Structure 1
């Protein structure tokens, strides 16, 4: 399939974070773009403002007439049910229909591709890397799974020769990509509704890693059971960060590379997991040949990603942080960072579990990491693409949490409860629609 011959691109599920980046890309390169999504969000409002036509009813009559032609590409999200009328309309008439991952595969085939895989850290690592390459003047487009604060977008650049993509393990999507330089940030069990067990997900990551034949272009944290150049903090590795200290609310650290020692790198995102993300991006950019001074300058200016340890309020009396964490390992990383920054302060975490299957698979791990916070508020499970599983509820998860200060509340009551809370630090956590509440919570707490 030749993307150059496509005139119209129609998205079913255009408001998804990965889908919307592709919509922006096709709009940027001059295609006519429209789409459907289930509900209006901040992101769909932004896409409409950028000239993309979007409707919110599964209604064939609302599809713009220009799209009922042969040179229309239909891109569909895996979250769309098989009963979806628009999807069935295009399927029955033999339109070219692709998943997002397949389209990224086509784009990466024709570019020099940096691919960032891993169960955690993909979005932040690929955002840092995209920022480094763009700020260094390279002809790059980065497709991201989050809104980067520097650009207020999940798409960086309009380049045609280099691509940066998140290599998503969900549904084995990353096996469609054509990476030239790649990394795997982590390889924990997740998406067990797709894979069944941890062994199957690890085999999938190995299949992805095998796409990079030259292992000097493959990067892994030290200790991960994959071939490639290693990165580590305070441990011997191909790329090693050490002498880490905090100055003016930023990390400052040194890096030993195969060819030099880089001194006094400044990076403002908190948490050792973010230091690993920055080090991974540095290693990939350095290996590609980006100048050290340009890498350091870009790391210092990187402002972070929305919903990735994203400060909403940061005053002497009140701190409010929002984070997308939806896996026990990610929540543990948030806890580590917030404890390091605010020792001795009372920390309240609000968690909206994401998916019934994930809650069921990791209930004990969720309970253990959530119990580390001083107080816990649980919201009901956000179902996304799933139907309920009998017995798997937030009430069941709450019963496993050992923290004595814990409660389950309805989403509509959350702001009222937070306003009366005595916690000095509040963290909202989850990958569901809790993200749509952040602005309202911030306004109420100010």
Structure 2
């Protein structure tokens, strides 16, 4: 097993990785910005190195500073968490060139899946269903209009190099396409340095379902069930659950088989997620993208399968067999994750501030992965995620009831907080029924 690990991230995910590493007897090093010096993950690591000011480009995305920290502390491996440099193929390659172990998929897999158009084409060739769309970037507006005539409206206009729900717009007619194409292309050039645009069929009523995969050290790819991720605002997830209430045993078999084919097509190693859109009226599903990293919502899979995905990541990176038998997976129960964000519960606008009260709920089936404690400051420099509240029950009804109790017992004061939204959602008849889609938040507002 790896003996020393640098965690190239912050907040709850850095804290969560450190927790598993400590349990395994691995020495941990945290890197942090000047703004994060007082956060729990910094003090909980065995050693901490400041890598720059608050601006992520000068700290958490500062490759030279992170590699210098790895060298000065003598670590063997780097875990990137999610976000920041986690899906940066050049960083992954550079880490290995420096003789360090990269806890993630190979740089080639990251590159292959990093461009949505290339990923679509690879998946189609591997027999994974893809939505009708362009096989090459729309070079300009005229090309987009030609594609629209073939695909039909409504359509999704996407940044080919985007991710995390960013760089997307819906066009219902030609006028909207003209507007959205320019908007998405400009955003993509600014945010990703790549203005390539993908045109794809848009499904007005759809569910977002993803499959957790793990590429093992022996070359096999296994699928660890699906997660329902349809409760979203601005195309970004707020709630995830596993198993999906929309997926039958027969559909699950098709989902998992497609996800394994997707991983095998790029020689995938380590943890990753195959994200799909599910048409609930036809039970057809289509490949959306592959996230070549650990997902924010990985805890729901951990609870249903009884495994520690970070430990499995470390074992794969070290060339070790998994802790479980890939041929005898035995999932059970139901898990739900709620993302506790520093944002108002109505418009979901960020509201940073000093945490004056932070009381986490406890009880049977309740887990909290948090990045803050009372006295910390939620700054405006990073994502608004403060914690993840995860609940587990014997079935979905019990998980929802435990979630209600846990939300009521979670006290946060200082920054804005979206806990009241979850209290509302957990009483919403559509959500409770399980028959919901990605439009549920809009209907609640």
* TM-score, with structure 2 as normaliser: 0.30
* TM-score, with structure 1 as normaliser: 0.30
Task: Say which structure, 1 or 2, has more relative contact order (CA 8 Å, 6+ apart).
Answer: 2
